[in-house]
Amino acid sequence: MKCSPLLCALMGLAAPLAHAHISLEQVSAQAGTYQKLTFRVGHGCAGSATRGITVLLPEGVAGAKPMPKAGWTIATVEGALKAPLMVHGVAVSRAVREVNWQGGPLADAQYDEFSLQIKVPDATGKYYFKVSQVCEQGSAHWNEAPGAPGAVMQFPAPCSMWCRPPARRTSTESAEPVAPWHL
């Protein structure tokens, strides 16, 4: 699969990028590498300030380490993996599945970023990160995957696309099967 940074963005054409939402800065990453992911929180919940976000990691992601953030406390939830993963040469069967930041408040009129490092899965494809946003009043769940072309998404899940490392690319890579959505 070719690394096409636009692919995730194109999926969201029906929901214009001009609308800030919660989105991922890194729309593409190389499969099998360690990668920083930054979730951008563009606004609150219908004008209410953000007090927390929870990011669910798709299957295949391991080694998640959130970056400490002043004014926010971090909690992680571990869980069993469907298939063991290699992290730093060691097979692991449990990993962080959920990362939560609580703090703020982050006013609706302001913008902030929340980062973590992950080990990107070896399997290429588009990966979706469901994000829950809790505000002083109300909440928002960014958990929609693209449906029919042109379908409007109100709360699209942040997306990133894993691509093969350049060194392993071959002229036949386009024939390689594309992994389905990983939610």
Which residues contact Cu ion (rule: CB under 5 A)?
19-21
Closer of 21 and 182 to Cu ion (Cβ): 21
Residue closer to Cu ion, measured from CB, 63 or 104:
104
Shortest distance in whole angstroms from residue 21 CB to Cu ion: 3
- The residue (of 17 and 75) whose beta carbon lies closer to Cu ion is 17
For Cu ion, the closer of residues 20 and 178 by Cβ is: 20
Q: Length of the chain in residues, anyone?
A: 183
Closest approach of Cu ion to the CB of residue 62, in Å: 30
CB 150 within 8 A of CB 72: no
Q: How far is the CB of 130 from Cu ion (least distance, A)?
A: 16
Taking the C-alpha atoms of residue 7 and residue 162, their distance in angstroms, rounded to an integer, is 11
Q: Among residues 62 and 159, whose Cβ is nearest to Cu ion?
A: 159
Position with the least CB separation from Cu ion: 21
CA dist 63 and 69 (Å) reads 19
Q: How far apart are CA 58 and CA 181, in angstroms?
A: 10
Residue 44: both structure tokens together:
């609150």
Q: Find all residues with CB under 8 Å of 6, minimum gap 6, and list them.
A: 27
Residue matched to tokens 């007090």? 51
At its nearest, how many Å lie between Cu ion and the CB of residue 41? 10
Q: How far is the CB of 98 from Cu ion (least distance, A)?
A: 22
The amino acid occupying position 147 is G
